[in-house]
Amino acid sequence: MTDAAARPLRAAIIGTGAIAQAHAQAIADLAPRIELVAVADVDAERAREFADRFAPAATVHATLSALLAAERIDLVHICTPPQTHVPLAIESLRAGVPVLVEKPTALSLAEMDRLVAVSRETGVPALTVFQHRFGHGAQRLARLLRDGRLGRPLVATCETLWYRPAEYFDVPWRGRWEVEGGGPTMGHGIHQFDLLLSILGPWRRLSAFAARQVLPTDTEDVSMAVVEFENGALATVVNSIVSPRESSRLRFDFEYATVEVEHVYGYTDADWTITPVVGHEQLAAEWAADASDEVSSHRLQLSAILDALAAGTDPSVGAAEARRTLEFAAATYASAFRGLPVSAGDIVDPDPFLASMDGGAVPWPPLKEAL
Ligand SMILES: NC(=O)c1ccc[n+]([C@@H]2O[C@H](COP(=O)([O-])OP(=O)(O)OC[C@H]3O[C@@H](n4cnc5c(N)ncnc54)[C@H](O)[C@@H]3O)[C@@H](O)[C@H]2O)c1
């Protein structure tokens, strides 16, 4: 065990809004391995109230710079709106402090590449929150596949069918390409297709559609992709926020079994099913062997990060891996807006989809007023 692992890890939270509460709760649940020692928000009152609620002894700051100047920190949780993620993450990496960044990590592949480069140059990890990779069901599925128990992956479906009313977009920064990087592809479905990619591995080629069906947003409110993986598996990916019965669903058909999960914002083992083919019935018992009722959550991902840091191994989800998920989003937009298939690795300089997810090619007019 390293010296850092022997004492509580000193954590800071930047941005004390909605999702920061999940981070603070995860930190509290994992005490004494980690403690929240400082918070920062441009809204001083919100930061103070947040500290009072979750960590009364924590110091309160207006900016990340002030926080880093005042405190010795081991891990910065970045819980601010997406357009601030990379500048804040780079500032922290340059101060030698690892970051755990909320999704989407970056607004564009070009911005993501800057983060990957600084993480490589400094040797300091830049991690992304993709908490659904860390639930027991996903971990078990990955293990069974790796061990060859399920055979070859053949077909998959990945659906994020969520619902947001028009008023959701009353918040001035919502629904803007330059703040959020996109609609349900970047903001909502990214969790589900990140999990799909983490199980099926590198994708090779996709064809996509995107539309603004009904919501008062500049971005899409639905997208849909058909994708081929390097291992030959074929999958469909749907990202929607116009679907009144909400559902997050993944279905994998392997040679020896179908494995499915259906939930909305987090799953437990009860949300997973396995259906083996004749001759592989023992898979059902193997699947049920170490059942857990823990929900896929920030706590599970943070716990895995603490384990990796203590063991001196690479924590997940590192910047290079998060880039693969972001590239899938960029390719979805590029394919949809150009009406052409896109292969992994296609989006390189000077392709406009490297610099922004909209690629300057959105086929519908903007609705939002200038900020
Ligand atoms: N992992 C998940 O399941 C999940 C769920 C919801 C949101 N998110 C992500 O979390 C991020 C934050 O979303 P939210 O809903 O909590 O937003 P929010 O608006 O509730 O909170 C953001 C906070 O950041 C503060 N802030 C903005 N710029 C700042 C800066 N430069 N320095 C310090 N503070 C700053 C704001 O004042 C606000 O308090 C987004 O990227 C969102 O996509 C992730």
Distinct helix (H) and strand (E) counts, the chain? 14, 14
Task: From 184, 187, 228, select the one nearest 210 (Cα to Cα).
Answer: 184
Q: Is there a contact between 55 and 47 (Cβ–Cβ < 8 Å)?
A: no
Instruction: Say if ligand 1 is within 6 A of residue 82 CB.
Output: yes
Instruction: Say if ligand 1 is within 6 A of residue 172 CB.
Output: no
CA–CA dist 133, 139 (Å, integer):
7
CA–centroid distance, residue 12 to ligand 1 (Å): 14
CA–CA dist 301, 128 (Å, integer):
10
Q: What value, to the nearest 5°, has the Cα angle with vertex 162 and ends 156 and 168?
A: 150
Give the pLDDT score at 296.
96
Atom of ligand 1 nearest to the CA of 19: 16
What pLDDT digit, counting tens, does each position of 115-161 carry? 999 999 999 999 999 999 999 999 999 999 999 999 999 999 999 99
In DSSP terms, which residues pair with 211 in a beta bridge?
222
pLDDT along the chain (371 residues), means of 10: 67 98 98 98 98 98 98 98 97 98 98 98 98 97 98 98 97 93 98 98 98 98 98 98 98 98 97 98 95 95 96 94 97 98 98 98 92 74
CA–CA dist 285, 223 (Å, integer):
37
Dmax of the chain from CA atoms? Answer: 63
Give the pLDDT score at 369.
81
Give the pLDDT score at 194.
98
Instruction: Say if ligand 1 is within 6 A of residue 322 CB.
Output: no
Give the pLDDT score at 175.
96
Atom of ligand 1 nearest to the CA of 80: 24
Give the pLDDT score at 2.
42
CA distances to 25, 68, 227, 264, 271 from 250, rounded to whole Å, are 27, 40, 14, 11, 11
Atom of ligand 1 nearest to the CA of 16: 39
Instruction: Say if ligand 1 is within 6 A of residue 41 CB.
Output: yes
- Can you tell me whether residue 66 is helix, strand or coil? helix
Q: Is there a contact between 228 and 203 (Cβ–Cβ < 8 Å)?
A: yes
CA–centroid distance, residue 308 to ligand 1 (Å): 26
pTM recorded for the entire structure: 0.96
In DSSP terms, which residues pair with 251 in a beta bridge?
157, 260
Mutation test of ligand 1: which of 102, 127, 131, 263 has the most ligand atoms closer than 8 Å to its C-beta? 102
Atom of ligand 1 nearest to the CA of 62: 33
In DSSP terms, which residues pair with 78 in a beta bridge?
14, 101
CA–centroid distance, residue 202 to ligand 1 (Å): 29
Give the pLDDT score at 370.
78
Task: From 26, 3, 319, select the one nearest 11 (Cα to Cα).
Answer: 26
Instruction: Say if ligand 1 is within 6 A of residue 40 CB.
Output: yes
Give the pLDDT score at 305.
98
Helix (H) or strand (E) holding 227: strand 222-229
For ligand 1, atom 38, the nearest C-alpha belongs to 17
Helix-helix angle 190-200:319-338, to 10 degrees:
110
What pLDDT digit, counting tens, does each position of 207-224 carry? 999 999 999 999 999 999
Instruction: Say if ligand 1 is within 6 A of residue 84 CB.
Output: yes
Instruction: Say if ligand 1 is within 6 A of residue 187 CB.
Output: yes
Give the pLDDT score at 349.
97
In DSSP terms, which residues pair with 262 in a beta bridge?
249
Q: What is the dihedral of CA 253, 257, 263, 267, to 10 degrees?
A: -120
**Cβ contacts of 348 within 8 Å, gap of 6 or more:** 354
